Amino acid sequence: MWADREADDIPEYYSAKPYLRLDINLWNDILKKMADVGMNMVVIDLGDAVKYESHPEIAVRDAWTVKRLRDELSRIREMGLEPIPKLNFSACHDTWLGPYSRCVSTDTYYEVCRDLISEVIEIFDKPRFFHLGMDEETPQHQRHHRYVVVRQYDLWWHDLYFLFEQVEKGGSRPWIWSDYLWHHPEEFFSKMPKTVLQSNWYYGPKFSKRIKYVKAYLDLEEHGYDQIPTGSNWAVPENFQKTVTYCRRHISPTRLLGFLQTSWKPTLEEYRQQHMQAIELVGEAIKRWEQQ
C-alpha cells in the first residue's frame, strides 16, 4: 500500500498491488501467538483490503467484505485481543486510496476521508482508538513514487484537524505517528491537541537523549502527551525490550498507555520468521515487566 511504483531500488513488498496479499494461515497463527504471549491489542492497517460499502472502488481484488471483517473482529475479541483500525492518510502512504490519493486536500478527498472513517468506526463498533498514520510526508520519503504530494504549514494542520474531527465525531480517539515532531518541534507542541494519542517510533539499538528520535519520547512526556511508544525488529531484535526499558524509566505511568510492536513486513508466509520473532520479543518483555 505504500508506493505507487515498482523498481529495483525499493523492496518489492513496498509497492501497491491490484490484489490482496494475505496468507490466512499466517494471519491466524499471528493472532493465536499474540494471545498466547499475553498481548491484548492488535492494530489492523486496513487500507485497500476491505470492500467498503461507502467506497467499494478502493478495494483490491479479493478484498474482504464488510461482513467478513466484522466476523473476524468478533473472533479476535473472543481471543482476548482488542482490534483497533488504522488508515494511514499520510500522502506518503496513501496509495491504498486509489484515485483519491491524487485528490489530496480537495472537496472530493475530504468527502472520501469522512465516509471511510465513519464507516470503519461503525464496523469496529466505536473502537477506543483510531490510528490515522500521518508519518513521513516528506519529499525524501516519496523519492521512489511516481506522484509526490507534501502538505506543508497550515494545510497539513488543516487536514490533520479535519481527520481528528471525523474520528472524534464517531466517538473514538485519534492516534498518530509522532515523527512530525522531529523536524517541527515548536510548531508541533503549539498546535497538537493533548487529546491525540502519540506513537513516537524508533527502531535502533542505542537509547540516548542525544538521538532526536529518542529525545522525542522525553519531549512528549515533558509536554504531557499520552504515549504508546513503538518498537520493531525491522532493524535489530533488541529494540523492543530497550524501548520498554527506556520509556518505562522516563514516561509517567499515567501517560504511558502501552507499547506497540511491528515487524513492518507483509502478512505473507515468506516473512513468518520476522512476525513470530516480533511477537516472541513482546512476550519476553511482558514476562520481565511482570517480574518487576
pLDDT in tens, 208-241: 999 999 999 999 999 999 999 999 999 999 999 9
| Cβ-Cβ contacts under 8 Å for 87 (sequence gap 6 or more) | 45, 46, 47, 96, 116, 117, 120, 130, 131, 132, 133
Instruction: Give the pLDDT confidence score for residue 84 in this predicted structure.
Output: 99
Residue 166 domain-assigned (yes or no): yes
Residue 3 domain-assigned (yes or no): no
Structural domains in the chain (count): 1
CATH number at residue 168: 3.20.20.80
Instruction: Give the pLDDT confidence score for residue 5 in this predicted structure.
Output: 81
Find the domain containing 222 and state its range: 12-291
Residue 20 domain-assigned (yes or no): yes
Residue 101 domain-assigned (yes or no): yes
Instruction: Give the pLDDT confidence score for residue 10 in this predicted structure.
Output: 78
Residue 54 domain-assigned (yes or no): yes
Mean pLDDT of the chain: 96
Q: Does position 205 have pLDDT exceeding 90, yes or no? A: yes
Query: Residue 150 to residues 135, 136, 141, 163, 187: CA-CA distances in angstroms?
Result: 11, 9, 10, 16, 17
Residue 7 domain-assigned (yes or no): no
Stretch among 101-110, 111-120, 140-149, 251-260 having the lowest mean pLDDT: 140-149
Residue 222 domain-assigned (yes or no): yes
Q: Does position 6 have pLDDT exceeding 80, yes or no? A: no
- The letter for the amino acid at 42 is V
Residue 260 domain-assigned (yes or no): yes
Full-model pTM:
0.97
Share of the chain above pLDDT 90, in %: 92
Instruction: Give the pLDDT confidence score for residue 130 in this predicted structure.
Output: 99
